[in-house]
Amino acid sequence: MSDTILSGHNLTKEFITRGDGAFSASKNRFRAVDDVSFDVQAGRTLAIVGESGCGKSTTARLASKLLDMTSGTLRFEGEDVTIAGAKELARFRSNVQVVFQDPFSSLNPRHTVERIISAPLDYQGIKVPRGRAALVRELLERVGLNPDHSQRYPGQFSGGQAQRIGIARALAVKPKLVVCDEAVSALDVSVQAIVINLLRDLQADLGLSYIFIAHDLAVVRQIADRVAVMSQGKLVEQGDRDEIFTNPQHEYTKTLLAAVPRINPEWERARAARMAEGTHPDQDVTPRARATTDDGGQA
Amino acid sequence: MNTTPLLEIEHLTITFPTGSGPVDVVRDLSAVLDANRTLGVVGESGSGKSMTSLAIMGLLPSTARVSGSIRLNGQELVGKTDREFRTIRGEKVAMVFQDPLSSLNPYYTVGLQIEEAYRSHRGGSRRAARAVVLDALERVRIKDAARRIDHYPHQFSGGMRQRIMIAMALCLEPELLIADEPTTALDVTVQAQILDLLAELQQETGSGMIFITHDLAVVSQVAEDILVMKDGDVVERGTAEQIFSNPQAAYTRSLLDALPRIDDPFEELRGTAR
Amino acid sequence: MVLYLLRRILSALGILLLISLFTYAIFFLLSPDPAVLICGKTCTPERIDQIRGQLGLDQPFWVQYWEFLRGLVAGRSYGDGPSAIDCAAPCLGFSFQTNESVTNMITSRFPVSATLAIGAAVLWLLAGIGGGLLSAVKQGTWWDRGAMMVALGGISLPNYFVALILQYVLVVQLQILPFPTAVEFGENPLLWFQSYLMPWLVLAFAYASMYARLVRTNVIDTLGENFMRTARAKGLAAPLILRRHALRPALTPVVTLFGMDFAGLLGGALITETVFGLNGVGKLAADSIAKNDQPVIMGVTLLAALFVVFGNVIVDILYTVLDPRVRVTSR
């Protein structure tokens, strides 16, 4: 069994909200995350799934310390990082990075790719002896982009490419854990597959751990080792991936899994059989090249 | 047996002028849809799938050039003026959009927004229209409709708002319903409910439906016939079974290869190089 | 609702109190000794001390401020014994220049400013909303471009410049209007109207320009909203779509702006009043600043603050009526 790299214990986050409407003077406490505990194993992926408003993104923010928790404990490699000073926080940030959902709004449109990718190095005060440009080129290559494009701006890339820039930025400080907050949700299915494969390759090569936040359970099935299901701020079920998908225990998990639309299994089998027969040899299928802007993701 | 299909699209091409010359967003699209059937249009972003529906409704921007033919019950729609289209919109063809919150006017009650659709076509008193609206809300299973009719859009959940959009579309009993990514903004459990509702209502009314989506799994469940679109072209057409069990076009196959399946983890998803 | 109102009014009063404190402190610290000003050039130190005592200027700052506040609420009297001068609430003191009660000075001039503000507001709302709407609907046409050019002029040209041109054209060249004179409505309604027409136009031009641009942008934005597409998809007639679906979302933000602008103008239109010689609160402010007449400056400042702060409260309350999303959502 691998080591635990990040663990959250009884994480709780309360938000103070104004009462309903403008006339109410009352303040309400809203528990976005309620007593959530999890462990992320080194080199593994923990997926947190649930429907909108279930608290999964808030949990991601607590785990990456983008948000302070109301109560609970967060440990990174056994060390308590719940309350971190500037120095500890900087160290934590060089170990834990985040990739966000919307690739374009999370990349500054007026900065070059090189500046975007090397920005975390500045924040961490990390020196690169062989030079930033070289590192950026290496990272671009690593995420499957052309290293010669380091002087371009985000607007010149497609949605899938922009998301790879986001991943390259996360990798710049050589983190051990990457929190992917709906990182592939805005992408078209063919682009999404590439990014998922990239994330898996990076994990295999660099030994990265992931916290993978997603609402799409089919995607989670492809990438997770462990799955935590959240509903209304609470963690309702947690377990190994196949256990959750094939033998869910909690009613909510069952409902969620049942609601996922599926292609008629008979059709799937027929297609698989035809593919196996080689009726359709899987030739090099390259769709006609298109402008870089038109797969910019759908809302 | 009626030989005229509900909707017949022939060689539809939609062109937009751009700075770098005209661009075809839809090229030579042909399709036939009968009453009580559902035509799925599936494609990734930029495939032109939504433009087709806007052309049927006459809602394309005025800069768009449309050629070819769209016939509804034999009546030609291409070339109709905005004024002429008004008798088609809502009355004969209704539409449900992707984002129900922004598709409803936040300043007016849902009751008024459904009512105005009904009254602008059928006239009559507000009282009479209100009864129709109430009935429509009940048909889309809005609980406590008599009270909810006077609520504003922001007071409903996402799924309820989409039900309201559907009620608005159905109150005039159109022959054709165009659903443009109607469940994309919704949670998966809510999506399942809305898909069920659409299917039930179609059974009741016998209307034809065009279901536009990027989601292959969803379209496989709702549509009998499917068009697969890419960059404005129809790359493949067929029954749902044909498309999913024996896809012919390389693009369709690549889409199906790239689609993550919830029931079995693949070792490698096949994405298309971009 | 009642609670909300109470809270808003209380906080508005708090803000007013702060403003009064700041202005009072600024005058206290920065201006020359009022006693010297009042006393004039032929003045003995004894006389200055006497005036100081009478006005309470020999007291520490907090005492003076407290007296000032008390005077506002309950009235006060300056000096003791038979020479004491009574000043009824709301007491703002007496002008150093004319010895007139500041409260009276303001109340006698307020109707002029109010007339100016109301007339201008009617004009600029009509022109601003109408012009902006037309521009938005006819976006990109010659009308739109022309109107926006004029509006740009209205925003960038200073009031007094527009006033001078207008006077030159309407009064001197075309002789359509007489030169503005101070005349009561009751005396000569036509002359009254003619006298106010130019100030109204000048003031309205600047505001109408701003409003036309705002309305145009808002309407264009609203026309691009998804719910406009829904309205068209329902088969509604174009005029109904515009009237019902575009106008209300587009004009609601205008209410905020109007509330603030109108309230500001009630506190006096300094330049316009001065240029046209209208004896309103704005001109009073200009005159008192020129003569360093502190009680009067204090008075008009507080009046302007009062209007702006309460204008704000009224706008907030109006908003809850106009925008259902701000209303109580609990069922």
C-beta of residue C116 within 8 angstroms of C-beta of residue C200: yes
Is position C127 within any domain? Answer: yes
Asked if A5 and A209 count as a contact pair (C-beta separation under 8 A), the reply is yes
Give residue C80's pLDDT band: very low, low, confident or very high (50, 70, 90): low
* Interface contact flag, C230 B94, Cβ < 8 Å: no
Domain that holds residue A271: 4-19+26-109+175-276
- Give contacts of C253 with chain B, Cβ < 8 Å: none
In this structure, the answer to whether residues C37 and C168 fall within a common structural domain is: no
Is B232 contained in some domain?
A: yes
CA distance C36 to B196: 88
Are C237 and B120 within 8 A, CB to CB?
Answer: yes
Q: Determine the pLDDT at residue B268.
A: 53
Give domain status of residue B28, yes or no: yes
Assess if residue A155 is contained within a domain: no
Return the pLDDT at C57. Answer: 74
**Quick check: helix, strand or coil at residue C147?**
helix
For residues A146 and A248, what is the distance between their CA atoms, to the nearest angstrom?
Answer: 43
Lowest-pLDDT range of B190-204, B237-251, B257-271, C147-161? B257-271
Same domain, C209 and C66: no
Contact C226 B99 (CB under 8 A): yes
Write out chain A residues lying below 8 Å of C6, CB-based.
none
Mark yes or no for CB contact C327/A24 under 8 Å: no
Q: Is A272 within a domain?
A: yes
pLDDT tens across B209-242, in order? 999 999 999 999 999 999 999 999 999 999 999 9
Contacts of B244-249 spanning 24+ positions with Cβ under 8 A: B244/A263, B244/A264, B244/A267, B244/A268, B244/A271, B244/B216, B244/B220, B245/A266, B245/A267, B245/A268, B245/A270, B245/A271, B245/A274, B246/A270, B246/A271, B246/A274, B247/A271, B247/A280
**How far apart are the CA of B80 and the nearest CA of chain A, in angstroms?**
30
Residue A63 lies in a domain: yes
Residue C1 lies in a domain: no
Q: Is residue C141 in a domain? A: yes
Tokens of residue B151, six digits: 């609520």
Tell me whether residue A43 is in a domain: yes
Q: Which of A5, A7, A4 is nearest to A74 (CA)?
A: A7
CB contact under 8 A, C233 and B95: yes
Confirm whether C197 is domain-assigned: yes
Closest residue in A to B185 (Cα–Cα): A299
Nearest to B175 by CA among B202, B213, B140: B202
* C303: Cα separation from own chain's centroid: 9
B61 occurs within a structural domain: yes
Q: What stretch of H or E contains C12?
A: helix C2-30
Tell me how close the Cα of C10 comes to any Cα of chain B, in angstroms. 30
Question: The domain containing residue B41 runs over which residues?
Answer: 7-258
Cis peptide before C90 (omega within 30 of 0): yes
Do residue C126 and residue C240 come from a single domain?
yes
CB A55 within 8 A of CB A235: no
Q: How many distinct structural domains can be found in chain C?
A: 2
How near does any CA of chain B get to the CA of A271, in Å? 4
**Given a contact as 3+ CB pairs under 8 Å, which chains touch A?**
B, C
Cα–Cα–Cα angle for C207, C213, C217, rounded to 5 degrees:
145
Nearest-Cα distance to chain C for A165, in Å, is 31
Q: Tell me, yes or no, whether B151 lies in a domain.
A: yes
My answer on whether C61 and C125 are in the same domain is: no
Q: At residue B270, does pLDDT exceed 70?
A: no
Instruction: State which of C29, C55, C87 marks the end of a domain.
Output: C87
The highest-confidence range among A118-127, C153-162, C177-186, by mean pLDDT, is C153-162
Instruction: Tell me the C-alpha distance between A54 and A230, whole Å.
Output: 6
Q: Which residues of B touch C225 (CB under 8 A)?
A: 102
Number of domains within chain A: 1
Could you give the number of structural domains in chain B? 1
Q: Does residue B99 contact residue B109 with C-beta atoms inside 8 Å?
A: no
Same domain, C140 and C70: no
Predicted local confidence at residue C328, as pLDDT:
53
Q: Quick check: A20 contacting C, CB < 8 Å?
A: yes
CATH code of residue A246: 3.40.50.300
Best of C4, C226, C316, C331 to mutate (most A CBs within 10 Å, chain A): C4
Pick from B102, B106, B168: which is nearest to C324 by CB? B106
Cα distances (Å, whole numbers) of residue A164 to A45, A106, A157, A194, A216: 19, 12, 10, 10, 20
Q: What is the CATH number of the domain that holds B124?
A: 3.40.50.300
Quick check: is B229 in a domain?
yes
Q: Is residue B160 over pLDDT 80?
A: yes
Residue C283 lies inside a defined structural domain of this protein = yes
Query: Residue B101 CB: number of other CB atoms within 10 A?
Result: 17
| A165 located within any domain | no
Q: Give Cα separations from A197 to A99, A173, B74 (angstroms).
A: 15, 21, 49
Q: Quick check: is A135 in a domain?
A: no
Please give the full DSSP string across A16-29, using - where no structure is assigned.
EEEPSSTT---EEE
Cβ of C330 within 8 Å of Cβ of A21? The answer is yes
My answer on whether C45 and C180 are in the same domain is no
H-type helices in B81-213, by residue range? 82-85, 100-103, 110-122, 126-139, 145-148, 158-170, 188-205
Instruction: Judge residue C326's burial from the number of C-beta atoms within 10 Å of its C-beta, 0-12 exposed, 13-18 middle, 19 or more buried.
Output: middle
Residue C39 has pLDDT above 90, yes or no: no
Please tell me the distance from the alpha carbon of residue A248 to that of residue A254, in angstroms, as a whole number. 6
Asked whether residue A285 is domain-assigned, the answer is: no
* Domain presence at residue B270: no
Whether residue A34 lies inside any domain: the answer is yes
Within-domain flag for C10 = no
Q: Within its chain, how far is the Cα of A262 from the centroid?
A: 24
Our measurement of the distance from residue B158's CA atom to the centroid of its chain's CA atoms, rounded to an integer in Å, reads 17
In this structure, the answer to whether residues C79 and C114 fall within a common structural domain is no
Beta bridge partners of A6: A40, A76
* C319, closest residue in chain A (CA to CA): A22
What local confidence, expressed as pLDDT, does residue C221 receive?
Answer: 93
Q: C193 and C249 share a domain?
A: yes
Residues C200 and C317 in one domain: yes
Measured in angstroms, the CA of C234 and the nearest CA of chain B are apart by 4
CB contact, 8 Å: B117 with chain C?
Answer: yes
Distance CA(C48)–CA(C34), nearest Å, equals: 9
Q: What pLDDT sits at residue B193?
A: 93
Do C325 and B57 count as a contact with CB atoms less than 8 A apart? no
More confident residue, A275 or A108: A108
Q: Taken in order B88, B90, B91, B93, is the CA torsion positive or negative?
A: positive
Q: Which residues of C touch A21 (CB under 8 A)?
A: 326-330
Residue B263 falls within a domain, yes or no? no
* Torsion region of C175: left, alpha or beta (phi above 0 gives left; psi -120 to 50 gives alpha): left
Q: Which residues in chain A have Cβ-Cβ distances shorter than 8 Å to B44?
A: 188-190, 295
Show which residues on chain C lie within 8 Å of chain A, measured between beta carbons.
1, 3-4, 7, 320, 326-330
CA angle B29/B30/B31 to nearest 5° reads 125
Q: Does A17 touch chain C (CB under 8 A)?
A: no
Note whether A21 contacts C: Cβ–Cβ < 8 A: yes
Please report whether residue B274 resides in a domain: no
Tokens of A177: 């854990």
Residues C225, B102: C-beta atoms closer than 8 Å: yes
Specify the pLDDT at position A9.
Answer: 95
Q: What is the pLDDT of residues C92-114, one digit of tens each?
A: 888 877 888 888 899 999 999 99
- Residue C54 is assigned to a structural domain of this protein: yes
For residues C282-311, average pLDDT: 89
Instruction: Give A109→chain C minimum CA distance, Å.
Output: 23
- Is the Cβ of B111 closer than 8 Å to some Cβ of chain C? no
Predicted complex: ipTM over 0.95? no
Q: What is the pLDDT of residues A15-39, one digit of tens each?
A: 987 654 444 556 678 899 999 999 9
Q: Give which of B48, B3, B45 is closest to B227, Cα–Cα.
A: B48
> Domain of C39?
21-87
